[in-house]
Structure 1
Amino acid sequence: MLDARREDLGHMLRAWRMARDPALLPGTMPFRGHRSYLTQLDMALLLGVSERWYRALERGEDRRYAPEMIAGVARILDLSPRQTAALHRGTGHQPPQRGAAGVRPDAALLDLMHQQRRVSWICDQAWDVVAVNAVAARHCPWLAHPDANAMTWAFSAEAGYQLRDWDTRWAVPLLTELRLAWQRWPDNPRLEEVVRTVRRESGVAELWAGTAEVDDCPGDEARPMYFPLVAPDPIDVHLATYTRFDDTALRWFVLTPVDASITFP
């Protein structure tokens, strides 16, 4: 017999799904037709689970849903902080605790990001990706993943496919950014979690110990990245970071090719 509270949560989850426009999800345009809502199959495909497993969530069935799956549901459906907390608690998980909990880009910032014909995305203090434009979803599909975190991805084994000369051009600058942020926001538990995850990656402990004298990274330094839809060889890019005046909750990133003739299709 279904628990009444869990069943009610399932009803709310279905309503949230039906209200979500697939056109607002960068990188998901292979969805066919002109529907104005997401189906249960859409959700299952985006989450990497079976349709039956996702359907059980909306039915209110008491199963052991992974916290990553629940976080992915909240991200795909763009749930508010209160809705996200209800979904986590209703499935037996603690709601996410973040230093900038619930902070979202305003309409003006999102509009600027989506206007870019370059790879562009927005992160919070812990490098959790909160918004991406269509160009980023096409050329860096990992950014559009429901639980994408730019820093944990950058130090994962798969990052070497796109971040070329990783050991000499990317690792130390990124680690510098992470360490300085960790010191700057000591009360951000999500950032603490990201630091622990990164430090567990192969080779990072030695790199961390050997680069204690960190300094601010030059923002205009070009680094090679590989975009198979753009060029057969890696291209040098500038990674620029923008913030709103006196606002440390969100950061807007834009990747720009050094060669101005290179464009992202």
Structure 2
Amino acid sequence: MSSAENDLGGLLRAWRDRCAPADVGLTAHGRRRARGLRREELAGLAGVSVDYLVRLEQGRSRRPGPPIVAALARALQLDEQETAVLHQAAGLPAPSSRAVPVHVPPGVQRLVTRMADYPVAVFAADWTLITWNAMWSALSGDPAGWPAAGRNLIRATFCRAPGESAAHGPDEDIERALVADLRQAVTSYPADEHLRSLVADVAEASPRFRELWNSGVAGRHASSRKVVRHRLVGELVLDCDVLTVPGSDLRIIVYTAAAGSPDAERLEFLRVSAVHTVTTGVSRPHRDGSTPPAVRDQG
């Protein structure tokens, strides 16, 4: 099959060749014929099997679903225009400006990757987790295995099962800020059906959310201190900062601890003892290339 007949495969190979391992937080081992990513490295980052990636590059599979295309775009650190081209090559419409954006700019992806000493994650405007680094997985558990409800911070905060306590302790200021954020998202993306469903579902399930939503509450995210209970290192008291990305409607959460403190030592223990078992996160499809029904990706 010629490259003209397999634009998708040609694009994947070209973008894989230009992406250096260091750019995605990988260490290059052994002799490499090119500076780019190996197939197994890209497959691991995107959460697909190597065999499925080979089929895509060779044109034997030509219609990956939207979550897989979005995962590949993030793993390859594509910009918005390139992401649109990849969708079109896969026979999919480009991501709509009417929906909550989930595109993570390459600079933000590099930031997440290179802040390897701290837990860092990126959320969309509806507080759906998009991507995270290995330390986030080490601290909170690998989100790749979480159900959809666990991937959305609004649902996880307000829709806990009876008797289930919040992982980081209840925080009324955070609840107010989350609801205020969600209201702003609804105003910015009124045509997003997933967003409307999120509000309706959580309002039906949570009296607390209903109360805050109906009150027209306003709030803002500020630096705060979180208590995290970890099965391996015990209790950690961490500073939590929410950073915004101008022009992209993304939220970046970063957990840190003061240098030399017992909590910093516990974070370092996590880094050296657990971080090798997880990799930089994306919304991960099944290894055969299909996607778990619980995972929604708006890309």
> Normalized against structure 2, the TM-score is what?
0.61
Q: Which residue of 1 aligns with 2:7?
A: 8
Q: Which residue of 1 aligns with 2:51?
A: 52
CA distance in 1, matches of 2:49, 2:107: 34
User: 1:156·1:201 contact (CA, 8 Å) conserved in 2?
Assistant: no
CA distance in 1, matches of 2:76, 2:177: 30
User: 1:6·1:90 contact (CA, 8 Å) conserved in 2?
Assistant: no
- Structure 2 counterpart of 1:262, which letter? D
CA distance in 1, matches of 2:136, 2:200: 26
CA distance in 1, matches of 2:30, 2:200: 44
Alignment of 1:156-195 (within 5 A): 165-166=165-166, 169-170=169-170, 175-185=175-185, 186-188=187-189, 193=194
Query: Share of identical aligned residues, percent?
Result: 21
CA distance in 2, matches of 1:102, 1:165: 32
Q: Which residue of 2 aligns with 1:222?
A: 225
> Measured at CA, do residues 125 and 156 of structure 1 come closer, stay the same or move farther in structure 2, by a change above 3 Å?
closer
- Please list every run of 5 or more consecutive structure 1 residues that lacks an aligned counterpart in the other structure: none
Cα offset for 1:128?
A: 6.1
The Cα offsets for residues 114-167 of structure 1, whole Å up to 9 and x where unpaired, read as 46843234555444667756644654574799xx9996167459xx9xxx9418
Q: Which residue of 1 aligns with 2:23?
A: 24
Q: Does 1:256 align with 2:256?
A: yes
CA distance in 2, matches of 1:43, 1:238: 33
* Higher relative contact order (Cα pairs below 8 Å, separated by 6+ residues): 2
User: 1:237·1:256 contact (CA, 8 Å) conserved in 2?
Assistant: yes
CA distance in 1, matches of 2:192, 2:227: 27
SS of the counterpart of 1:95? coil
Cα offset for 1:74?
A: 0.3
SS of the counterpart of 1:169? coil
Count of matched residue pairs: 252
